Structure 1
């Protein structure tokens, strides 16, 4: 049996799916959250198909239908935007003027409600995007931890600002204020976690939100709609469905969006920013493309390098912006590294997302297999070869990981972000060649260095930190822990995300000031004692 036949055989019969992982019935969403109401939708819908195929009685494979979602248009987008505008009310709305403690209470109530939906949401993540069950559970749980850490960080931030400063005869109190209406667009690879890393800080800082779920990973938001509706005031969060290529530029062109929160491509981000009629009024918080490289030096621990590069390049099929998408290995150890690496790749378990120990699972975007095949064939036509047996074989949505060597300038895999289970490897003789690769890249998110000579590592770190925002020493590229800054240079990001930084990204410092006179002191003291202002106060949140 060849690799393609083996891949085909991995798709199960419906009866082989474990009972606790089954989709008992398709989930047909017919509601939109607008202005605090779950409105029924009677228009066009789109079927949601899983990347998982199941074997029918006749032996044929068919994609599992998970349900359907609304396909709304500009009229519904206008309605959602109008609800957000009304809820913000030029900063006078209930949400932006609410106390920090009260906003925290709303987020805590929302969190409590979605925790009760954990199993349903996790199952939808797994089926919608093909993420393994443990990784789907980890995505949900990590999101909950992120929310709690954000609450703790905001308490500290607000408590630090709950005092007056007196400088050169001026009394001032400085706090952070919301920016306005946020359009939140998350990615399909982490449809809950990465979306919430912008959504939650935007909300908790007093902004109102238009949420457009990802193309893949849309249905999993359906179980959360009631929690959004009941935990937050009307209009604070509104959902937008439909064709993103039409609706998102349309919303941006209105000029009413104050913050664009996007985890996606730099090309899309550029187009959307240009669509806004007053770009100086737009705050952009962007997590974009990356082509993170691993540089393996001659004295690297090969066992460690192989282990970390496997995890870095193939966790969730390499569909992570932080994935290692190019391996640069010194010529003197290239043969030994490739042998071990290829053996490790082919030892990975390929299968369905609920199977224990599975590493390679079906890809949610059917076009991705075609694109990855194009990249591999392009490299082969220019002299590269697939090192591992069966690499690049395709069966429906299963793509067997391919280790491609030697990759060079001019091949698609050398510069393009493949975002999938293809691992390009290039040799280098002079370390300057490896540095030049990072320097000449359009992207500047992260790099991994593997070596044991402290002098050489030190010499490489200093120039690399001026090209990328994170240098990983003897470990894979990654985002976490979430308290660490997550950023990028060049075309990889705009703004910094972390629990700490995100609160600042979605707010601005505002100040109340008065002359240091007895009259001013009495006035401010009276305001504080009256508890009538949520800005001028000295309350401490426990």
Structure 2
């Protein structure tokens, strides 16, 4: 059955939710710092789904509302793991780092269903899209491993330039702060986290503001797969990230979001010109419709590209340049398709 709440608002009854989508309440009280899953006894933040059930907002669970103190503990942990580039992780052989990442991939795959369900409820993305995001993230992880193997083979060779023989090796940069967006809270965060890790950098992950509870099933996988302090997971808002940057001990900021937010974060670092930034900002993807366009195909691609996941995608089509001779037809057929 469907329950009507406010005018124009419809929600499912709890008993009608498919079994593979049901998500019992999850109250996560742990966070990961220095290789330890620490219990949090302070205030928590309730996680409420955009989806209503039985006519009421559906509470998925809660997670720690961490403070500046925990942020600085994570900074101390990555600094110990880094140890000015002499730590166990940055000096570890490439094949050994790869083994740790592959171990994590296996542990991550074991909790796929739980991560996917939490993603569905927390960010309101369709089940199949969430499964695709998870699987694409695991595939990306394995592709990154393959890329590093190729890079390591290439760097083992000598090059000759102007009579000088040299061997070029890539080195880690230092502690990294990773911050991903809500629309792809797993995939986009991991596209910065995994390359940073596999190259020997210890990492702090500040979970997305929306899409944070899905990291709860991954805490044990991170703790068991990596040496202490190499991966640290902090729940909380931007106030958790700012103390880490203000400490001046973060070498790289990997952030996906708006340019305004990136500028605000960057200013908190006492040496902003020393801080390396890996940023994905303000995508405004354009579609160009030429006079020769197959309008049936064009409209199908336009609607899919603009409205999949309600347009909440970095690659969503946001601007359309349509040739004047086809504009009326395009508008009319797009309206019908929508």
For Structure 1 versus Structure 2, the TM-score category normalised by the shorter chain is over 0.9
User: Which residue of 195, 209, 213 corresponds with 1:219?
Assistant: 213
From 295, 302, 308, the equivalent of 2:301 is 308
Q: Equivalent residue of 1:102, what SS?
A: helix
Cross-structure match for 1:8: 9
In structure 2, relative to structure 1, the CA distance for the partners of 1:326 and 1:170 (3 Å cut) is closer
Deviation of the 1:167 alpha carbon: 5.0
Residues 446-479 of structure 1 deviation map (CA, whole Å, 9 limit, x = unaligned): xxxxxxxxxxxxxxxxxxxxxxxxxxxxxxxxxx
Q: Secondary structure at the match of 1:216?
A: coil
1:203-252 Cα offsets, whole Å, 9 max, x none, are 000001010110111010010011100100000011122221x2322221
Deviations along 1:287-323, one digit per CA (max 9) or x if unpaired, are: 0102222222222211111011011101111001211
Aligned length in residues = 334
Residue number among 46, 63, 67 corresponding to 1:73 in the alignment: 67
Alignment of 1:17-166 (within 5 A): 17-23=17-23, 25-55=24-54, 61-165=55-159
Cα drift, residue 138 of structure 1: 0.3
Q: Distance in 1 between matches of 2:259 and 2:134?
A: 27
Q: Which residue does 1:209 correspond to in 2?
A: 203
Cα deviation digits, residues 518-541 of structure 1 (max 9, x gap): xxxxxxxxxxxxxxxxxxxxxxxx
1:374-394 Cα distance to aligned partner (Å, 9 max, x none): xxxxxxxxxxxxxxxxxxxxx
What is the aligned partner in structure 1 of residue 270 from structure 2?
277
Over the residues paired in the alignment, what is the CA RMSD in angstroms?
A: 1.5
Query: Does residue 179 of structure 1 match 2:173?
Result: yes
Written as runs of structure 1 = structure 2, the 5 A alignment for 1:447-526 is: none
Shift in alpha-carbon separation, 1:295–1:164, aligned structure 2, 3 A: closer
Q: Which of 230, 241, 249 is 1:248 aligned to?
A: 241
Instruction: Supply the distance in 1 between the matched residues of 2:258 and 2:270 (Cα, whole angstroms).
Output: 21
Question: Does structure 1 retain, via aligned residues, the 8 Å contact 2:207–2:236?
Answer: no
- Match among 261, 269, 281 for residue 288 of structure 1: 281
What secondary structure sits across from 1:96 in the alignment? coil
Offset from partner CA, 1:150-172 (integer Å, 9 cap, x none) = 00010000011113345556443
Supply the distance in 2 between the matched residues of 1:159 and 1:289 (Cα, whole angstroms).
36
SS state at 2:218 partner? helix
- Give the whole-Å Cα distance in 1 for the aligned partners of 2:203 and 2:209: 18
Taking structure 2 as the reference length, the TM-score comes to: 0.95
Compare CA radii of gyration and give the structure with the larger one. 1
Given candidates 215, 218, 228, the residue that maps to 2:222 is: 228
5+ unaligned residues in a row in structure 1: which ranges?
56-60, 346-542
